[in-house]
Amino acid sequence: MKIKILITGTAGFVGFHLAKKLINTNYSIIGIDNINNYYDVELKYSRLEELGIKKSSLKNNKIVKSNKFQNLHFLKLDIANLHKLNDLIASQNINLIIHLAAQAGVRYSIENPQAYIDSNIIGFLNILESSRINKVKKLIYASSSSVYGNNSKVPFSTKDRVDSPVSLYAVTKKSNELMAYTYNNLYGINSVGVRFFTVYGPWGRPDMAYFKFTKSAFDGNEIKVYNHGDLSRDFTYIDDVIDGLNKILERMIERNDICEIFNIGNNKPTQLKSFIEIIEAKTRKNIKKRNIQMQKGDVYSTHAEIDESISKLNYNPITSIEVGLQNFVDWYKKYYNIEN
């Protein structure tokens, strides 16, 4: 019998790529997403089109079958609705949940904190409760490198204390880890939390810096360079992230005694100044820049220690920032019909 997997956030960046990866395997996939307007919904619909889910076929709470892949179905559904989420998991006999749906973005959490409570706290509780009620014993969920805050010890290890968050987004992700631990202890729900480090690549999120910088390069607009470019991020290419998730999935299927957290990063931080220079080289544009102070809620640096991911998962990020950004720029030009 095929293992039936629920992927939340399937119209999102990581969820889309993971679904695309798993539909070429022997799993049966049910995808859900509320398709909110945090960023361009047409990009989300375009991702779904790539998966064989037509925008015109979507209606709330109606399961749609992909017209490209036999083992993929999709439902427009909000995880904040416990009743409908619970009905779906019960009716579809879900064996394993990969929970990627969340309100993303550090800076937006300052502007709209309620959205993070509704999606990242209440929504995650609903995932856990639906798992408990329907005896789904395996859960993989997205955490974030943001939980490390301004940790002065680098690289960041999953063994580090993470009790000094600098954004509400980070608070919600750390809360998710604590909630998953509690449900493992109380109800035996096996879980793996994945601390992602600045994921980038084709079909990415328009609110992310690399997307904004590329758009500004082609549009001739000015970009804001926080902390005068003196920041660094452990940029992790989407294919490496999906490889890591796939290996976590394989580990989860094989075992029944898991409550773990892994870093999925590149282990090679890039300075913001260098990052911008690479985008300028790949777009063949000089980007107008305005240096400003560091934004509240931001951290100075991120750097993933991935020793445990390597030893336990055989995780091996191989994509350089130059190759990854070239792939993104190539996709961007094709998607937005840009010639240069």
Q: Which of 169, 200, 210, 332 is catalytic?
A: 169
Contact by Cβ (8 Å): 208, 12: no
Q: What is the 3-state secondary structure (H, E, C) of 24-53?
A: CCCCEEEEEECCCCCCCHHHHHHHHHHCCC
Task: Parse the chain into domains and list their residue ranges.
Answer: 4-200+235-266+298-318
Q: What is the pLDDT along the chain (340 residues), one digit of tens a residue?
A: 689 999 999 999 999 999 999 998 889 999 999 999 999 999 999 999 999 999 999 986 789 999 999 999 999 999 999 999 999 999 999 999 999 999 888 778 888 899 999 999 999 999 999 999 999 999 999 999 999 988 878 899 999 999 888 889 999 999 999 999 999 999 999 999 999 999 999 999 999 999 999 999 999 999 989 888 888 999 999 999 999 999 999 999 999 889 999 999 999 999 999 999 999 999 999 999 998 887 776 777 889 999 999 999 999 999 999 999 999 999 999 999 998 6
pLDDT at 110: 81
Q: What is the 3-state secondary structure (H, E, C) of the chain?
A: CCCEEEEECCCCHHHHHHHHHHCCCCCEEEEEECCCCCCCHHHHHHHHHHCCCCHHHCCECCEEECCCCCCEEEEECCCCCHHHHHHHHHHHCCCEEEECCCCCCCCHHHHCHHHHHHHHHHHHHHHHHHHHHCCCCEEEEEEEHHHHCCCCCCCECCCCCCCCCCCHHHHHHHHHHHHHHHHHHHHCCEEEEEEECCEECCCCCCCCHHHHHHHHHHHCCEEEEEHHHCCEECCEEHHHHHHHHHHHHHHHHHCCCCEEEEEECCCCCEEHHHHHHHHHHHHCCCCEEEEECCCCCCCCECCECCHHHHHHHCCCCCCCHHHHHHHHHHHHHHHCCCCC
pLDDT at 187: 97
Residue 13 C-beta-side C-alpha neighbours within 13 Å: 26
The CATH homologous superfamily of the domain defined by 4-200+235-266+298-318: NAD(P)-binding Rossmann-like Domain (3.40.50.720)
Point out which residues pair with 199 in neighbouring strands.
236
pTM flag (> 0.85)? yes
pLDDT at 297: 66
pLDDT at 183: 98
169 is catalytic: yes
pLDDT at 16: 98
